[in-house]
Structure 1
Amino acid sequence: MPRRTPPVAPAAALTAAAVALAGCGGAARSSTSTPLVDHGTVRIAESSETPSFDPYSTFGAGQARYAYDSLVDVAPDGTVVSGLASSWQATTTAATFTLRPGVTCSDGTPLTASAVVRALTYAGDPARRLAGARTVLPNVPFTADADDRAGTVSVTTAAPFPFLTRTLGLLPIVCPAGLDRPETLERTTRGTGPYVLTRYSPGGPYEFTVREGYTWGPDGATTAAPGLPARIVLSVVPQASTTANLLLTGGLDIANVTGPDRARLTGRGLAAEDVATVVGLTFFNQRPGRPLADPALRRALVSALDRQGLANVAVGGTGHPAGDFGAEGAVCHADLATANLPAQDAPAALRAAGWTRTGDGPLGKDGRPLRLRLITSPDLGPTLPPAAELMARTWTALGADVDLVTESLPALVNAMYRTGDFDVVVGSTPGFALPVGFVPFFSGPTPAQGLNFAGVADPEYDALVSQALREPDTEGCGTWNRAAAALFRSAAALPIADGRSTVYGYRTTFATTFGGRLVPTSIRLHR
């Protein structure tokens, strides 16, 4: 039987893999017909606390939309619209953005092209190791130049990169006052966005106050619109059942709910918008010295899994095994798993790879038993621990000694990006809106020099990515999909199920983009 470690108290954060590039793809919009309320307060639930609001950190990137703008935005229908820039153009090696006139930082200083270039250069400096920024920016070196007189920002990359507008253009821009004192960004905000962080309490709540005179939001949105809340209060509510109760009783106005608690909210007069997710995105640690550096072992363990059974557990009902690493609505999304995941007799494959067992004894090779440390966190979804439990039972039946560990989210991040002490990690994410978002997690250096926390090294994937980077925008989807297929064949990672979460609204209307991210300037409070 797998050994179980007691869960640690929930804590605050989203992994870089879960929050980056969530600005493209599917859309949602709630609706209500009751009158608007001006200058009200909207209460929004977060599943975990935010220890830092620095938009370039792993933890703060998810909340950046309230206080920071980007050069462009992505509308709910997935099209690119204006942000800080009124116009833009890009190739695979260069991009130019022309700033709107009259944009100001929250401290009242005008935003210049030089200030934008400074933010891009700061965020893109590899020596700073800014995980949140690196999941947004191109994973190739770039240089940026400013023309303050013309109000233009020009960027040139050292190598081709096909999605410059949707990467460089979506980086939250920190104003000079924040870059002068970056340590202050953990508890204060220094941006051009529609709200300013005015209250921070460890563990929450966090309060944002609207900015007057803001006219440069997505596609020209302003804060003068009737019904836009004067205050947004983010409260930490770790349990989905508690969140559901608060929505039903009016204790919350907006919240994302996953799992079986969604059924309790159906037909209760709430605005409801489904969000496509990938439940149980599982990585296998291939670093030297770890047992899963052996590709034959990875393939055998994946072949042994009951994908339909895992999907059912992962969604808390009748699930559908995931076909891609990203969610529906992502650019280049396709069903790649069915045709490319290893399908073989697991015990026979293990024997062929030199892994043997005697009777009911442990599975071993060269005199060493197979021990696996499988980690997950309920902070990323209540169904992940039972899904990990089913994995552990399957591998235990093969003869592996599985240490099943349920962690808090910060502890999970620590194992992934610092200690590397895991063999399998089961997480959950909408995935990236762009296929290029996965590249630093499936190739390149391991932390702290890179984001490849599982130490993936797949020459076929690397070669196909190199080709796809030279193909403009979606013309390269076929190549991107062949690259992802190579990862499935080598069992580098496994998405468990296509899932759904739902963003619910009590007396509110709002719009969301890919991943269920709220558009702050779209929120309206109703009576």
Structure 2
Amino acid sequence: MKNSAAMPALARRSLLGVGLGAGAAAVLSACGGASTAGSSAAGGGTLKWGWALPTSWDPVFSSAGWDVHGLSLVYSALTRLDAGGAAVPALASAWSYDAKGTEVTFTLRPGLTFSDGSPLDATAVKKSLDRGRTDPRSLVAPQLAHVVEVTATGATTVVLKLSQADYQIPNLLAGKTGMIVSPKAFGTNAAALATQPVGAGPFVLTSYTQNERAVLRRNPSYWDAAAIKLQGFEVYPLPDPSTVVASLQSGQYNVAQIPGSQVAAAKAAGLQVQVIPSMVVAVLDVNAAKAPFDDPDVALALQYAVDRQALVKTQQFGYGEVSSQPFPPGYVGHDPASDNLYRYDPAKAKSLLARAGHPDGVELTLTTSVAAGLPEQLQAQLKEAGFHTRISVIPQAQATQIVYVQHSQALFTDQFAGRDSAAQAFQVLFGLQGLMNPGRKAPADLQAAVAKVSATPLDSPDYPKVLQAATGLAVRTMPNVFLYTVPRILARSRGVSALPADVVVQRFEGVTVA
């Protein structure tokens, strides 16, 4: 089955691992000079993006799914995601499965090179994938658990042998897991990759100051270089919502993410605004192993205690949709039967709490890394349903350790943006070792349903219903409280052409800056 694909998802997580030390800075030597707006080679100017800087420029140790946006500037993966999120050729021009689904062969484009000039051939791909799946500190290794051997059978042929049928591999390898790193670079100084990436993406990083700015130039040896019109690229940390419009007007950025609260101001300032649907969904992570959610009735009561529509109106200024599941409408995994599954019903929530032995309500701590806004609105809603809630604010930098490593919190506000394959998203959210399943519990029938998703070919007519059935089962048996979708809202100067409206990773093919 060649080029089998299903819509995957990116992931936004400020997670485990080896983020750079606070205040550390690294400056890279510029190979061929710094980026220059308006350079004649591409003629597309320099884009200044107010977005986010990666936790690490090494995809194997990057600790946030959100990093995929920045990493995609300097790395290419074996596949990539089209505008709708389906896996399509990238470094690999084609792929095919054997009859059992336990072996997938990727055919590379000929003549590929890394930004350091070394060849990107089948041997390099093997070494890069093996590093990701075997390094003891790798954060992508769990996603490659079904891969038992990677073999370079020719200069441009790579074979992945699997422990079981898994048709999600092409989707999985479209993200950080499939980004190919130069073996010459990690063989010489692997630690340096955290600040000095060596890949084969559309741009090359020329200088980097942590928490301040990354400067990149166009990579003429990129496999799809003809589609990249920008000559330079600069990435900055997420702008302050209160100053982002002024920063765009001043030229500090010419593209930036803005909250819904700033859309009107951006338009009034003469900026162009694009609202791009994304896979991001706001969620409450529930630890079903901790009181009071070790009682299923209390966990179910929480689902009915939240007024999702009011949250969209207030927190998102109307940008987004109510959601009670991890996948948005239009995505193959979205289960229509689960729409509006948990309508706001504080009376029903109180009844469930009474049945659980809490007729006078229950005490609860809501942990968050958001200083204001969402926690207070949730606190007020939960009070109406009998949850007497105390808000505990923890630093964002410590959230992963506290919530997902120590498993010490019962309830946490978060956002989830899926993973590069649907099965991977299920594993993260609902797997027994799932990062966003701090209670480490999952019913056997859900585990079987997820296994069936991986074992079903993506081009099978049965795949949508198999995936949707798993979604429906998950939202009915797991405690995660999904709230609303979060679109990508980008404001840009009038000199910047329209941005591709990719649902998963923001891409920049064809974009120019006047």
Residues 161 and 499 from structure 1, CA distance in 2 versus in 1: closer, same or farther, beyond 3 angstroms? same
Residues 78 and 496 from structure 1, CA distance in 2 versus in 1: closer, same or farther, beyond 3 angstroms? closer
Q: Which residue of 1 aligns with 2:50?
A: 45
Q: Which residue of 1 aligns with 2:353?
A: 350
Q: Which residue of 2 aligns with 1:496?
A: 483
Q: Which residue of 1 aligns with 2:336?
A: 335
Contact 2:324 2:341 in 1 (8 A): no
Query: Could you tell me which of 171, 176, 182 is aligned with 2:183?
Result: 176
Name the CA distance, whole Å, in 1 between partners of 2:381 and 2:81.
Answer: 42
Contact 1:66 1:520 in 2 (8 A): no
| 1:15 and 2:13 correspond | yes
Contact 2:173 2:179 in 1 (8 A): no
Cα deviations across residues 373-412 of structure 1 (Å, max 9, x unaligned)? 432436xxxxxx4233222223345554423133443222
Name the CA distance, whole Å, in 2 between partners of 1:518 and 1:338.
Answer: 27
Deviates more, 1:453-462 or 1:299-308: 453-462
Query: Could you tell me which of 369, 392, 396 is aligned with 1:405?
Result: 392
Contact 1:432 1:438 in 2 (8 A): yes
Q: Shift of residue 188 of structure 1? A: 0.7
Q: Which residue of 2 aligns with 1:154?
A: 159
Identical counterparts, % of pairs: 21
> Aligned letter for 1:143?
E
Contact 1:140 1:159 in 2 (8 A): yes
Query: Could you tell me which of 54, 59, 73 is aligned with 1:55?
Result: 59
Q: Which residue of 2 aligns with 1:66?
A: 73
Name the CA distance, whole Å, in 2 between partners of 1:101 and 1:326.
Answer: 37
**Partner SS for 1:76:** coil
Name the CA distance, whole Å, in 1 between partners of 2:239 and 2:226.
Answer: 32
> Aligned letter for 1:312?
K
Q: Which residue of 1 aligns with 2:287?
A: 285
Query: Equivalent residues in 2 for 1:78-97 (5 A)?
Result: 78=85, 80-90=87-97, 92-97=101-106
Q: Shift of residue 239 of structure 1? A: 1.6
Query: Could you tell me which of 480, 488, 497 is aligned with 2:467?
Result: 480
**Partner SS for 1:96:** strand
Q: Shift of residue 116 of structure 1? A: 0.4
Name the CA distance, whole Å, in 2 between partners of 1:86 and 1:317.
Answer: 41
Query: Could you tell me which of 200, 222, 226 is aligned with 1:222?
Result: 226
Deviates more, 1:78-87 or 1:158-167: 78-87
Query: Could you tell me which of 100, 123, 127 is aligned with 1:118?
Result: 127
Q: Which residue of 2 aligns with 1:524?
A: 512
Name the CA distance, whole Å, in 2 between partners of 1:238 and 1:401.
Answer: 34
> Aligned letter for 2:197?
T
In the superposition, the TM-score normalised over structure 2's length comes to 0.81
Name the CA distance, whole Å, in 2 between partners of 1:510 and 1:81.
Answer: 22
Query: Equivalent residues in 2 for 1:396-435 (5 A)?
Result: 396-432=383-419, 434-435=421-422
Contact 2:258 2:489 in 1 (8 A): yes
Cα deviations across residues 404-459 of structure 1 (Å, max 9, x unaligned)? 13344322223233222322222234444642232222333447xx6644524233
Cα deviations across residues 442-480 of structure 1 (Å, max 9, x unaligned)? 333447xx6644524233321211222221116322122
**Partner SS for 2:242:** helix
**Partner SS for 1:524:** coil
Q: Shift of residue 143 of structure 1? A: 2.1
Name the CA distance, whole Å, in 2 between partners of 1:75 and 1:477.
Answer: 18
**Partner SS for 2:131:** helix
Contact 1:323 1:495 in 2 (8 A): yes
Residues 276 and 395 from structure 1, CA distance in 2 versus in 1: closer, same or farther, beyond 3 angstroms? same
Contact 1:42 1:253 in 2 (8 A): yes
| 1:264 and 2:271 correspond | no
Residues 80 and 304 from structure 1, CA distance in 2 versus in 1: closer, same or farther, beyond 3 angstroms? closer
Residues 237 and 106 from structure 1, CA distance in 2 versus in 1: closer, same or farther, beyond 3 angstroms? same
| 1:197 and 2:242 correspond | no
> Aligned letter for 2:214?
Y
Q: Shift of residue 257 of structure 1? A: 1.8
| 1:462 and 2:464 correspond | no
Q: Shift of residue 354 of structure 1? A: 2.0
Residues 279 and 88 from structure 1, CA distance in 2 versus in 1: closer, same or farther, beyond 3 angstroms? closer
> Aligned letter for 1:347?
K
Q: Which residue of 2 aligns with 1:24?
A: none
Q: Which has the higher contact order (CA 8 A, sep 6+)?
A: 1
Query: Equivalent residues in 2 for 1:250-261 (5 A)?
Result: 250-261=251-262
Q: Which residue of 1 aligns with 2:146?
A: 140
Q: Which runs of 5+ in 1 are unaligned?
A: 1-12, 19-34, 358-362, 365-369, 379-384
Name the CA distance, whole Å, in 2 between partners of 1:444 and 1:502.
Answer: 31
Name the CA distance, whole Å, in 2 between partners of 1:154 and 1:319.
Answer: 41
Q: Shift of residue 72 of structure 1? A: 1.9
Deviates more, 1:512-521 or 1:101-110: 512-521
Aligned residues: 467
Name the CA distance, whole Å, in 2 between partners of 1:510 and 1:318.
Answer: 20
Residues 452 and 307 from structure 1, CA distance in 2 versus in 1: closer, same or farther, beyond 3 angstroms? closer
| 1:76 and 2:83 correspond | yes
**Partner SS for 2:500:** strand
In the superposition, the TM-score normalised over structure 1's length comes to 0.79
**Partner SS for 1:144:** strand
> Aligned letter for 2:497?
T
Cα deviations across residues 467-511 of structure 1 (Å, max 9, x unaligned)? 222211163221222222223223521221234332233222354
Q: Which residue of 2 aligns with 1:30?
A: none
Name the CA distance, whole Å, in 1 between partners of 2:86 and 2:282.
Answer: 29
Contact 1:377 1:427 in 2 (8 A): no
Q: Shift of residue 199 of structure 1? A: 1.4
> Aligned letter for 1:504?
A
Contact 1:281 1:429 in 2 (8 A): yes
Residues 349 and 489 from structure 1, CA distance in 2 versus in 1: closer, same or farther, beyond 3 angstroms? same
**Partner SS for 1:292:** coil
Residues 513 and 386 from structure 1, CA distance in 2 versus in 1: closer, same or farther, beyond 3 angstroms? same
> Aligned letter for 1:250?
G
Q: Once superposed, what is the RMSD of the aligned Cα atoms?
A: 3.1
Q: Which runs of 5+ in 2 are unaligned?
A: 1-10, 17-39
